[in-house]
Amino acid sequence: MSILIDKNTRILCQGLTGSQASFHTEQSLAYGSKIIAGVNPHKGGSTHLGLPVYSSVREACREQTIDATIIYVPAAFAADAMIEAIEAEIALIVCITEGVPVHDMLIVSEHLAASESRLIGPNCPGLITPGECKMGIMPAAIHRPGKVGIVSRSGTLTYVAVSQTEAFGQSSCVGIGGDPIHGLDFIECLRLFEQDPQTEIIVLVGEIGGNAEVEAAEVIATEISKPVVAYITGASAPVGKRMGHAGAIIHSGKDTAEEKYAALKRVGVDTVSTLADIGEAVAAGLKSK
């Protein structure tokens, strides 16, 4: 078991013919992911990497059974691509694209709220179920199947968390993205890991800005029985400065690492104050189960 994707997930790729998309699609295919088709509005009817290319998501869905789609199109067109996927009622939409305007994400969010689709990202590494399906840009080799569920707002920090939990392996790893307005949040991901029998412990990697970690703490208190290890990055970041990610900015006293740690600690989460301690905390959490 795993969450969101597995070896049977049939994947569409929007923007398949671009260079980034081509590179990562080849990597994903080599990993065993079932990417079965691509979309390019100008290249419908052609093939790329041996996959059929359709001119629209709707057309692809008419011809094939699609469970999920991964979007690599440039930022200016990413919102259109997400909305197209939502309108085609694709269950899982992953948007890798970085730099999507936040006003566009407001519109995407309204469409999303009125649909049954789930969105991961944008500005994220995607997700992976080790040994079964890689849907994103993460380095495949560091993962192996196991019992740790990882959810993170940062790409490289997800990889660090993965490498630190090498001994136990991972059920699924989800990078939810670093933008202020994005799809799937910590809460939904925590609930999925709670229901997944393969996941025995959850690692949550948060960062400064927004209140997603504080909201997650409330849900952990009432709904999550599995142990949770949390690390929040940005404790040393100054107020009012954007730290790389569009969403990583402290606006008030409420969105600091300190506040988030306090909220998580209050509900019994094992918080680690440095990145280097994630592995040990996971080992301890599994032992005391």
Partner 1 sequence: MFIHEYQSKNLLQQYQIPIPRSHIFHQSDDIDSFAEQWGDQTWIVKSQIHSGGRGKAGGILSAHDAAELAKHMSQLLGSQLITAQTGAEGLPVNALLIEKPANIANEIYLGILIDRNQKNITVLSSSEGGINLEEIAEQDPSKINRAAISKATGLLASHHQTLLKGLQLNQIQAHEFKQIVSNLYRMFCDIDATLVEINPLIVTEAGELQALDAKINIDDNALFRQAQVSSLRDDSQENAIERKARTHGISYVKLNGNIGCIVNGAGLAMATMDLIKHFGGEPANFLDVGGNTNEARVTHAFELLLADDVHAIFVNIFGGIVRCDVIAHGILAALKQTALKVPVVVLLQGTNAEQAKALLKDQHPLLFPVKDLSEGAQLVISKA
Which is nearest to 4 in space by CA: 184, 267, 177? 184
Stretch that binds partner 1, among 28-36, 135-143, 186-194, 221-229 (CB under 8 A): 135-143
- Span 114-133, contacts to partner 1 by CB under 8 A: 125
CB of 256 to partner 1, least distance (A): 12
Structure token digits, residue 198: 């393969």
| Distances 196 to 32, 48, 164 between C-alpha atoms, Å | 22, 35, 21
- Residues 240-254 as b/e (b if ≥16 CB within 10 A, e otherwise) read eeebebbbbbbeeee
CB of 119 to partner 1, least distance (A): 12
Q: Catalytic: 245?
A: yes
Q: Starting from the edge strand earliest in sequence, which strands make up the sheet with 51-54, in order?
A: 47-48, 51-54, 34-39, 10-14, 68-71, 92-95, 118-120
Angle formed at CA 120 by CA 245 and CA 227, multiple of 5 degrees: 90
Candidates 5, 13, 90, 100; binder of partner 1 (CB under 8 A) is: 100
Q: Are 181 and 106 in contact (CB under 8 A)?
A: yes
- Span 52-81, contacts to partner 1 by CB under 8 A: 75-76
Q: Does 141 bind partner 1 (CB under 8 A)?
A: yes
Q: Does 288 bind partner 1 (CB under 8 A)?
A: no
CB of 233 to partner 1, least distance (A): 4
DSSP letter for 237, please: P
Q: Is 103 exposed, middle or buried (0-12, 13-18, 19+ CB in 10 A)?
A: exposed
Q: Does 30 bind partner 1 (CB under 8 A)?
A: no
- Span 215-254, contacts to partner 1 by CB under 8 A: 215, 231, 233-238, 240-248, 252
Binding mask 190-219 for partner 1 (x = CB under 8 A): ---------------x-xxxxxx--x----
Question: Would you please indicate which residues are annotated as catalytic (active-site) residues?
Answer: 245
**Which residues contact partner 1 by CB under 8 A?**
24, 75-76, 99-103, 105-107, 109-110, 113, 125, 137-139, 141-142, 152-157, 159-160, 163, 178, 180-181, 205, 207-212, 215, 231, 233-238, 240-248, 252, 257, 273-276
